[in-house]
Chain A
Amino acid sequence: MKRALLISAAAAFAALTLTACMEVEQTVTAEQRQAGSTVKRDTAAWNNEPLANGPKWTRGDRNSWEEQIKKRQLAQNESVRIGN
């Protein structure tokens, strides 16, 4: 009885600890699949909520996201940024 208990406890311990050694699930299911492609779905950048301290745009509004990122792109031109 005691032995059976010990064996089952060891098996449970092994099962719990060895899960870290298992392969990560990589199968792409039909729900995850992007339409017209084999790859998984990917969210568009503008469909995210802006970060509290980051640049601002309206969630889901592509134009507002593009406007703010364009400002950032133009800031790479030091002639404009410095006002030269």
Chain B
Amino acid sequence: MARMKFLCDAERCIECNGCVTACKNENEVPWGVNRRRVVTINDGVIGAEKSISVACMHCSDAPCMAVCPVDCFYRTADGVVLHDKDLCIGCGYCFYACPFGAPQFPQAGAFGLRGKMDKCTFCAGGPEPDRSEAEFKKYGRNRLAEGKLPACAEMCSTKALLGGDGDVIADIYRDRVARRGNKGAEAWGWGSAYGQPPKGAGGAAPAAAPAGGKS
């Protein structure tokens, strides 16, 4: 039984925001709502900068589901956490409960009006007839019902963002880590990209860049 998950490889993410754009475009997400976003830490620090793409992680024990006062969340047979917008009252409890900041609320009014919650659906639509206009309008495109994976993962140029059954994508990641060796954060820089300069050939590689500066 598949249990759909996302996995983002921080060593590969180049902060291109292609996943964010793919999500926005595929689901026609309104202005001000970002179902997916790229988070960067140590921005500009050479060798220490890391980015990951974050959205709903479709938790196996979802806190949003636990705190919802109207019980609008449900989990599909594939382990995708979805919600019913007809039941949602826009209270925002799920936003406070979620450790990833996945729930989004449209701010469409002049008085800070908070609309119904919107979040990543793993491109699985919602509780409306599959591939219907009503489903698309409320929840976005249902790619799983088309036999496809989420647009963000399929569009990722460096394949940093993987989407699919937790076991399968964990195997891909494990294989990748084994291939690139036990390097981790050191898998960066001149030596990794172009190989080490030959011994004795002075001036082949540039001097080490000062830590903390932007390249």
Contact = CB atoms under 8 A, between A and B. Distances in A.
> Chain A interface: which size bin?
20 to 34
Interface of A is mostly: loop
B145 interface: yes
Interface string B141-163: 01011111100011000010011
A31 interface: no
Contacts of A65: 147
Contact of A68 (B82, B147, B176): B147
Interface residues of B, number: 42
Contact of B168 (A44, A68, A74, A78): A74
Contacts of A72: 147-149, 154, 164
Most buried by B among A45, A66, A68, A74: A45
B165 interface: yes
Contacts of A27: 86
B2 A66 contact: yes
Given A42-B82, A76-B159, A77-B175, A50 B147 contact: yes
Contacts of A26: 86
Interface of B: 2, 70-74, 76-78, 82-84, 86-87, 124-131, 142, 144-149, 153-154, 159, 162-165, 168-169, 172, 175-176, 179
